[in-house]
Each structure stands twice: as structure tokens, then as C-alpha cells.
Amino acid sequence: MPHTLPTDVLARFSLAGRKALVTGASRGIGRALALGLAQAGAAVAVSGRDLTAIERVVARIIGAGGAAVAAPFDVADTSVAQAGIAHAAERLGGLDILVNNAGIEQVCPSLDVDEALWNRIHDTNLKGAFFCAQAAGRIMAPAGGGAIVNICSLTSEVGVPTAAAYGASKSGLLGLTRTLATEWAPHGIRVNGIGPGYFRTDMTDVFFNDPGWRQTMLARIPAGRFGAVDDLLGAAIFLASPAAAYITGTLLYVDGGYMASV
């Protein structure tokens, strides 16, 4: 008897009919993720602090035949962010996917880190991510579930000099991912993380502008190249899609093999 392949495999990776919100989506990785989720069929709320920039992303999605709305808020302002997520969900007609991407970094020797710097980074990278997840969870749980994808980091598990505050926030985000995954699984909410390797963005330019750093780091990446933001799209779409229905509490590195080689 001939073997037949299931006809719905590719459909499981589709986000058609899903409603998503991406934080920090005005540029860089967040913008690429918002565009990628839209290309996979999701209606996307594009969030960020710069209204003009996020409106450009919205216009690009709509111009390509997708659906999108602007959701301008700063995740560090928790009450405003939670209200912004609720409002965006109303405009979209629900919320099935949250991508917690908003993040900031400032290179600083650990002996020079002050409380203001520590708080500024943690308010966005960790506290902001939690309260955005909480707002999304309050919408997703009564609706039967959803998917949350937290953008973690290599520093979630590897120490990087001059990144004490950032590394602590991203380690905390990994812990948060695992905690929410176990707590919210009964509500049908899956919570996973993506750990990008070294990608050139506005935030990482401080490293990439150093030729010596680039040469040293490139030698440590088995794939032999730095990441391009589009390299993250497959992981994000997969974790947000029905294809990952039995995956929660995990961190998927997209790093060219860096973590496998350390």
C-alpha cells in the first residue's frame, strides 16, 4: 500500500487568522519579526515608543496586503503598556500571540554600574516583559490560550563582560519564561524564548564597530557568519504557530552554533 504524506503539515505553520503584538517593533529585530508574522498571515499590532517609526512598519504591512495597527507605548511604563495591549487586542479582535522583544542595553564596566542604569535596563527588559505577558495572559486565558515568545539572549546563560545589568535581565527573562510556561500551561498558553546570537542592530553597533571584536567573535561562530535579522523569522513563526503546540518552557538559540561550541 503506498505511503501518503499528511496534507496539513504546512498549514500548521500558518498564522492565518491569528492576532499578534510585537513590542519594540519600530526597528531592528522587532521590525523584522512584525513583518515576518504578518507574512505568515497574522494581523499584527506594532508596538514601540516612536509612533512615526511604528506607523511606517504598519504601512509596510498594509501595503503588502496584510493587516496591522499601531500600538504606541513604552513597556517600562507598566500601566500604560498593559492598557495599550488591551486596546490593541480590542482593535485586532483578540490576541493570540505576544512577542516580548523590547530591550535596551548599555555597555558599562560592572564597577561603574549605578542604580539608575540597572533600573532602566531591568524596567524594560524584565519588568516590562513580565507585565506585558501578564496583560496578554489575561486576554489569552479566557479565550482558550495563546503563545508568548520572549526574546532572550546569549547572556541568558553565558556571562559577557560589561553586560552585568543586561545579562541579569536576560537571565531573569529565561527564568520568567520557564515559570510562566509551567503556570499557564493549564490555560493553553505556551511560553517560549528565542536566544539570538550576534546580530548587527542599533543596539549592538557598539560591538560591531570594533574590528578586533568582530574578528574574534566571528572565529567563535561555527557557521562562520553573523546573523541577519531574517534568520529569526522561522523560529518566531514556528514557536507562535500550531506546529509548536506541544512546546513550552524552552529556549531556542538562533546563533550559528555559538552555544554548542562554548
- Find all residues with CB under 8 Å of 162, minimum gap 6, and list them: 107, 108, 109, 110
Full strand arrangement of the beta sheet holding 189-196:
68-72, 43-48, 19-22, 97-100, 146-151, 189-196, 251-254
Coil/strand/helix, residue 159: coil
Give the burial class of 232: count Cβ atoms within 10 A of its Cβ; 0-12 exposed, 13-18 middle, 19 or more buried. Answer: buried
Instruction: Give the Cα separation of 55 and 231 in Å (integer).
Output: 24
Looking at residue 97, its pLDDT comes to 99
3-state secondary structure of 21: strand
Among residues 166, 198, 253, 258, the one annotated as catalytic is: 166
pLDDT at 112: 97
Retrieve residue 179's grid coordinates.
515559570
In this predicted structure, what is the pLDDT of residue 1?
47
Using the CB atoms, write b or e for 126-163: b if 16+ within 10 Å.
Answer: bbbbbbbbebbbebbeeeebbbbbbbbbbbbbeeeebb
Helices 78-92, 129-143: inter-axial angle, 10-degree rounding: 30
The pLDDT of residue 7 = 61
Class of domain 14-255: alpha beta
Give Cβ neighbours of residue 119 (< 8 Å, ≥ 6 apart).
Answer: none
The answer to pTM > 0.75 is: yes
191: β partners: 148
Predicted confidence at residue 64, as pLDDT, reads: 97
Where do the structural domains in the chain lie, given as residue ranges? 14-255
Per-residue pLDDT of the chain (262 residues; tens, 9 = 90+): 456 656 688 899 999 999 999 999 999 999 999 999 999 999 999 999 999 999 999 999 999 999 999 999 999 999 999 999 999 999 999 999 999 999 999 999 999 999 999 999 999 999 999 999 999 999 999 999 999 999 999 999 999 998 999 999 999 999 999 999 999 999 999 999 999 999 988 888 888 888 998 999 999 999 999 999 999 999 999 999 999 999 999 999 999 999 999 8
d(CA 237, CA 159): 28
Let me know if 253 is a catalytic residue: no
CA 42 to chain centre: 15
